[in-house]
Amino acid sequence: MLTSIIVAVFFVGYLCITLEDVLKVNKAAVALLMCVICWVLYTSGAAQYLSAEVLQSIGNGSVAQYVSEHSLREHLGEITETLFFLMGAMTVVEVIDTNGGFNFVRDALETRSKRALLWKIAFITFFLSAALDNLTTTIVMIMVLRKLVHNHNDRLIYASLIVIAANAGGAFSPIGDVTTIMLWIKGSLTAGGVIKEIFIPSLVAMVIPALLLQFQLKGELTASAEGSEVAAHAGHQFGKIERNIIFVLGVGGLLFVPIFHSFTELPPYMGILLVLGLLWTVTEVFYRRKAHRDSTMKQRVATILHKIDMTTILFFLGILLAVATLKETGVLPAFGQWLNEVSGGNHFLVTGAIGVASSIVDNVPLVAGCMNMYPIEAAGDFAQDGIFWQLLAYCAGVGGSMLIIGSAAGVVAMGLEKISFGWYMKKITWVAAAGYFAGILVYYVERVILHM
């Protein structure tokens, strides 16, 4: 009975999160409420879920205290690693952007051909998303796109491709998407493994939509980018050399994090804190050389820290802790076993369905649920870098592109460019789906047929 109540609370909360735009209630608030209610319910009847050995060790002590000091603290420790990583990465990217480090993107996109611009956007977004994250990359690329393309109909196509390319690029990198970050930090994937196996499927998931969308663009751009140079530099206190140093330190540092983790075996968030500390120090040195220091205060890291999206961090905290209660009650392991039986052990079917579902609901709880349904095994498809985990990273990351509301990148693009749900479904959904399923097919050939 208690298990049913916990599951009901979770699904009601999950439904409210999904209907955030309708209810006009921030999903972080719902996630936090759901998290606390689930843990209160679980704690009230935890004795029925704990093993006989654990209950014996507790003796006459408080079961609630045991849950608080062991179960809850253990889950919180694992989740906090992910949250600190995200906060550090978000700050690094914000520092680069605030100080003009992304100006090179505008310069690289200079062209008059609509189709040439489409391919430049596709590849720059794809690789930039692997180093940053799909949400930030989408914002940066659309802001640059506005300076280059004035025709709104053309911009809708470019913006849609940005969403697809950003999600595809984030899927093959251990630091490119929050779901891949979760799997990497958990140990389900290694940096080398996910890049090696998922890169080509992700590239295919970007190239095929680009090939299809290029036929909707003909001729040359009528909007000139002249004058954008002044606008791009407005507000930036640093010269080109300083901006390039900040970009190299920031993006290069993010790329260095997996290497740092591999050599030191310290958690990835330690690597991201190293990068943030170094970038912070270098920018402070740069600012000390400025004559008018007061004018640079808004661009300093101490000020930028106030701009970090804590709503997103709190949402992740709430939803991941809520999912943890489903693991503690045994619901997720049982559901995972049922999925295996129904699908006949076909991981392509299970993860493919998860990818389609991620275009409708948030992929973070979907991946968190899968991580708690299946343990990491010593060998087989559920081993580190096994087929299931790599497919999960690909499907959860790329599948969200099939609907404009299916990913954070899509929601941001929807707001910035006023992309309607109906227009995207009619014009883009089938294009994104073609790339998504083609990528799964490529991965099948890689792992099952060629045994790469």
CA 18 vs CA 104, 127, 359, 381, 414: distances in Å = 37, 30, 11, 31, 16
Give the HSE-up count for residue 150: Cα atoms under 13 Å, Cβ half-sphere.
9
What pLDDT is attached to residue 362? 67
Q: 262 with 195: CB under 8 angstroms?
A: no
Computed on alpha carbons and rounded to an integer, the radius of gyration of the chain in Å comes to 23
Please enumerate, as own/partner, the contacts of 284-290 that have beta carbons within 8 Å and a separation of 24 or more. 286/238, 286/242, 286/246, 287/237, 290/237
Q: 228 with 143: CB under 8 angstroms?
A: no
What pLDDT is attached to residue 293? 52
CA distance 350 to 330: 20
Spell out the per-residue pLDDT of the chain, length 452, in tens: 888 999 899 889 888 877 877 888 888 899 899 999 999 999 988 888 888 888 888 877 788 888 888 888 888 888 888 788 878 887 887 888 777 777 777 777 878 888 999 999 999 999 988 887 787 788 788 878 877 888 888 889 999 999 999 999 989 988 888 888 889 988 899 989 999 999 999 999 999 999 999 988 887 876 444 444 444 444 456 777 888 888 888 888 888 888 888 888 888 889 889 999 999 898 888 887 765 455 455 567 777 777 777 887 888 888 888 888 888 888 877 877 777 778 777 888 888 888 888 777 667 777 888 888 888 888 788 888 889 999 999 998 899 899 887 777 887 787 778 888 788 889 999 999 999 999 999 999 988 888 76
> Which amino acid is it at 174?
P
CA distance 325 to 223: 54
CA distance 51 to 58: 11
Look at the alpha carbons of 121, 123, 125, 126 in this order and tell me if their dihedral is positive or negative.
Answer: positive
CA distance 405 to 419: 10
What pLDDT is attached to residue 232? 46
Output the six-digit token pair for 231: 């606008």
Length of the chain: 452
Per the DSSP assignment, residues forming a β-bridge with 377 are: 383
CA distance 206 to 420: 22
> Which amino acid is it at 391?
L
Q: 10 with 326: CB under 8 angstroms?
A: yes
What pLDDT is attached to residue 298? 57
Q: 290 with 76: CB under 8 angstroms?
A: no
CA distance 175 to 179: 9
Look at the alpha carbons of 23, 428, 183, 89 in this order and tell me if their dihedral is positive or negative.
Answer: negative
Those residues with Cβ within 8 angstroms of residue 111's Cβ, 6 or more apart along the chain or in another chain:
117, 120, 221
- Give residue limits of the domains in the chain: 80-317+330-452
> Which amino acid is it at 47?
A
CA distance 34 to 50: 22
Give the predicted TM-score (pTM) of the model.
Answer: 0.75
